[in-house]
A and B are shown apart, each in its own frame.
Chain A
Amino acid sequence: DAKTTQPTSMDCAEGRAANLPCNHSTISGNEYVYWYRQIHSQGPQYIIHGLKNNETNEMASLIITEDRKSSTLILPHATLRDTAVYYCIVRGFTGTASKLTFGTGTRLQVTL
């Protein structure tokens, strides 16, 4: 079962930052927070992941609260091509804990 809670949908104006929240209040100490996105008619694409420190890569930034019970994915300058469903997943990395379980995600619509 999915262990994350995300808003169903969000809108963002092109060029503005998109901040996508995720609640994972039951996360355990050895579980990471992963973000994937799925653009229409494509397979999911990895974005970023983190354990407890904030992370940044060329696609996005991930802000994890100190208690690790929630996180925010930040797309600093959203473009129309960022319109997609964004999935927040918590996952361990050994054995069955490493199974990826997708929730319903957040549908981000970037508009002009």
Chain B
Amino acid sequence: GAGVSQSPSNKVTEKGKDVELRCDPISGHTALYWYRQSLGQGLEFLIYFQGNSAPDKSGLPSDRFSAERTGGSVSTLTIQRTQQEDSAVYLCASRQQGGLPLNTEAFFGQGTRLTVV
């Protein structure tokens, strides 16, 4: 596609339910990032996939959060037993990995707004 696509754009869920958020990166981009942004706050790094390397999960806030990237393309962020503090906009970005950084800026999707009620 022309850009990073995230779905759904909005998700309202009940506390305790599991949710899955999807990210379709730009074709050919091997690096993929997940961030979350709470209302009025900055971007909080969650996880980073880089080609076939083990992902950098250092930003995941708890073991309720997990992410996978199948086939080096689509990524799914899963939040189990959602809590109200999980309410935020979840942003995905992709980037062409390797080579000179001249063409390696990250492109962001428009995010999924998650509301836990």
Residues of B within 8 A of A95 (CB): 50, 53
From B12-20, B40-48, B75-83, the one touching the partner chain is B40-48
Q: Are A99 and B48 in contact (CB under 8 A)?
A: yes
Question: Which parts of A79-112 form the interface with B (CB within 8 Å)?
Answer: 85, 87, 93, 95-96, 98-105
Question: Which parts of B31-59 form the interface with A (CB within 8 Å)?
Answer: 31, 33, 35, 42-43, 45, 48, 50, 53, 56
Residues of B within 8 A of A43 (CB): 4, 91, 93, 108-111
- Is A68 located at the chain interface by the 8 A CB criterion? no
Residues of A within 8 A of B107 (CB): 46
CB distance from B111 to the nearest CB of A (A): 6
Residues of A within 8 A of B (CB): 32, 34, 36, 38, 42-46, 49, 85, 87, 93, 95-96, 98-105
Task: A44-B108, A95-B53 are known; give 12 further A-B pairs, CB within 8 A.
Answer: A32-B101, A36-B106, A43-B91, A43-B93, A44-B91, A44-B93, A45-B108, A49-B101, A87-B42, A93-B101, A102-B42, A102-B43
